[in-house]
Structure 1
């Protein structure tokens, strides 16, 4: 099958033929329909996040189940599914506490090292990035990495639920548990930030302030539910947020970019007693400096958010229902649909901030 693989860091993706095995115990073979391109992939391409190689990138994917291995109970051949990198073992201390998105034994969902690899090329194992490897014509996954969805949902749109929607809406709903009337700021209006915006809207936030450098993204944020927008290229975002909130700041500030500077801004624009959420993926070497007084003197909280604190096996079908009801808007997030051969150009466009989401369709 054709796949986009990374062989060097920093590097670009090579479109090559690789081999995929048949599903073993607990495994699911999926014919890939679509895979969204996420900004965190760029950190891998640029070498900011070390990664095992060679690897098939892509973790925001959807498709149709082709075959299942022994012991699979979650899905069946013919099911439409969305994959999620929050694959879970179901047995570790984190899973036992209900924090499946923080599963500490994902290795239990992988094959033994002395067995045949799921993916290979010329007899050598190929890694599936984030336990998914969505930039390939097929995916071989553990059953705890997929969830069946309503077949009425278009699969090219469903792919975006796999990361952008689950992380963004989940950050607003599960991590922050926004209440009606509360104030929200979102720094960065890419795929995840835009979903935080509409997650806040769906929760009834009183004010949703979207902050971005790009006019088109600010316009899209307003269309998805932002009550105010700030041009971060021309204005001091912190000062503008404070002005919009009578000097008080916001109850919830979400950083959805992954930069040290904007994380600091999120803390600064948070009201006393409020919370700043670090949702954006930073390079592995990045550090966050928080003024001590903001913590002990103002009672602010800084919270990390991983994949929207999701329970994807129940969250994703709900997001599908909301989309089919016209309440969750995803079509607007997809800037372009492309073939696999254009993946490197699409990542470059994402680097330049030109798109919210590009989706590779198969």
Structure 2
């Protein structure tokens, strides 16, 4: 073998071997940060060295065992990083390129992608083999990557259908939010609700997702934006980011407040960004007849939502289920990046903590206790 070729191969191997990852070994027990041997990429995959990964509140649910994750597994379903190795069949990407790794792939060929709904791509939802095996631990046990990503690690082994080029100089910590929070929040407003200038929007839940919804509703030209959350700090931040009213649902009748300020009708759009079933019931009640309800949250597998029949049968509401804001990554991400570049979106109040990988259990607690909006693991 030519010396230059051998040197390059050795460099690639050193980039991927024995990289640290936070592994969920036991449900509801602390993450274990350990060295893993990451597998070389298959023909249609790439290795990405992680730059930053948000600790999403969804992973508090995953960590607790309420959403079907099977240990040992690496959580973290959206990230950003730099390509360090490319499978033989991958085209259009290069080593050293910075890419977004969102929570949803776009294979472009499955039924859902062909139907214009890549947010439901079969590569994520219809994989009978489960999440991909990406690494091996010191005992030879294989480790899978949650959501096909596994962003709580120094390295990710990713399908080429789940990486997207980012043509911007914005920092990686901010751009890491693009793979989940920003896309879901903005997509809920622009793609699902299709909010128009002068309309009213009620936002149920003002965590990181709800605050992106508030900002997007303002950009869409909503005249009234009701921020509904029991947490006073989050209500105050929602007002700062564009909400016109803030409602404490523990102290006030949120439905009455919204109706009193919309001519007795209710909001044109109610967007749920909280998770519990009660928040989705509230969202339906907040929307006017023939209004739109957008539902985002999940709290546990098997949770049911009980609704008054007339609110969904004869009053003309459109109830929309969303996943990652129903985005089309190649279309929507460049637009959302431009909004960040132009200062139309403000990420800084939403980034409330930065952590090293070995501090991931601190990030977990801060998210679980509602002290963080978006805590970032920065590598």
Instruction: Please indicate the TM-score interval, normalised by the length of the shorter structure.
Output: over 0.9
- In structure 1, stretches of 5+ residues that fail to align are none
Matches within 5 A, 1:16-165: 16-106=34-124, 117-121=133-137, 122-165=139-182
Whole-Å separation in 2 of the counterparts to 1:37 and 1:310: 21
- For 2:351, the equivalent position in structure 1 comes to 334
- For 1:254, the equivalent position in structure 2 comes to 271
Whether contact under 8 Å (2:235, 2:246) holds in the other structure is yes
**Given the superposition, is the C-alpha separation of residues 249 and 112 from structure 1 closer, same or farther in structure 2, using an over 3 Å criterion?**
closer
Whole-Å separation in 1 of the counterparts to 2:264 and 2:125: 48
Aligned-pair CA distance for 1:151: 4.1
- In structure 2, stretches of 5+ residues that fail to align are 1-18
**Given the superposition, is the C-alpha separation of residues 319 and 8 from structure 1 closer, same or farther in structure 2, using an over 3 Å criterion?**
same
TM-score (norm 2): 0.90
Moved more, 159-168 or 233-242: 233-242
- For 1:359, the equivalent position in structure 2 comes to 376
Moved more, 126-135 or 211-220: 211-220
Whether contact under 8 Å (2:133, 2:145) holds in the other structure is no
Hey, which bits of structure 1, 4+ residues long, moved more than 4 A?
107-113
Aligned-pair CA distance for 1:117: 4.1
Whole-Å separation in 1 of the counterparts to 2:267 and 2:341: 32
Whether contact under 8 Å (1:58, 1:129) holds in the other structure is yes
**Given the superposition, is the C-alpha separation of residues 264 and 106 from structure 1 closer, same or farther in structure 2, using an over 3 Å criterion?**
closer
- For 1:219, the equivalent position in structure 2 comes to 236
Secondary structure at 1:331's aligned position in 2?
coil
Indicate the structure (1 or 2) with the bigger Cα radius of gyration.
2
**Does 1:278 find its partner at 2:295?**
yes
Whole-Å separation in 2 of the counterparts to 1:222 and 1:159: 24
Aligned-residue CA RMSD (Å): 1.9
- CA deviation string 1:85-131 (max 9, x = no partner): 21133222111111111012448899999xx9421213221010110
Whole-Å separation in 2 of the counterparts to 1:251 and 1:150: 36
- For 1:348, the equivalent position in structure 2 comes to 365
Aligned positions, number: 360
Matches within 5 A, 1:296-315: 296-315=313-332
Whether contact under 8 Å (2:193, 2:293) holds in the other structure is no
TM-score (norm 1): 0.95
Whole-Å separation in 2 of the counterparts to 1:83 and 1:310: 14
Whole-Å separation in 1 of the counterparts to 2:146 and 2:122: 17
Aligned-pair CA distance for 1:219: 1.8
Matches within 5 A, 1:166-245: 166-245=183-262
